[in-house]
Structure 1
Amino acid sequence: MPNVTIYTTMMCPYCFRAKKLLTQKGVKFDEIDVGTDPGLRREMTTRSNGGQTVPQIFIGKRHVGGCDELFALEARGELDAALQAA
Structure 2
Amino acid sequence: MARVTIYSTGNCPICDNTKKLLNKWRIPFDEVRVDMERDKLKEMLDLTNHARSVPQIAVDGKWIGGFTELTEMHMDGELNELVEHQ
**TM-score in same-fold range (> 0.5):** yes
Cα 1:11–1:26 change in 2 (3 A) is: same
- 2:56 corresponds to which letter in structure 1? Q
Structure 1 residue 3: deviation in Å?
0.9
Please list every run of 5 or more consecutive structure 1 residues that lacks an aligned counterpart in the other structure. none
Of 18-27 and 37-46, the range deviating more from structure 2: 37-46
Q: Deviations over 1:6-50 (max 9, x none)?
A: 100011111111111111111111100011333221111111121
Give runs of ≥4 in structure 1 deviating > 6 Å: none
Distance 1:10 1:50 in 2: 20
Are residue 4 (structure 1) and residue 4 (structure 2) matched? yes
Distance in 2 (CA, whole Å) between partners of 1:28 and 1:9 is 18
Q: How far apart are the structure 2 equivalents of 1:38 and 1:3?
A: 21
SS at match of 1:45: helix
1:77 aligned partner, one-letter code: G
Equivalenced residue count is 86
Show structure 2 runs of 5+ residues with no match: none
User: What is the identity percentage for the equivalent residue pairs of Structure 1 and Structure 2?
Assistant: 36
Query: SS of the counterpart of 1:31?
Result: strand
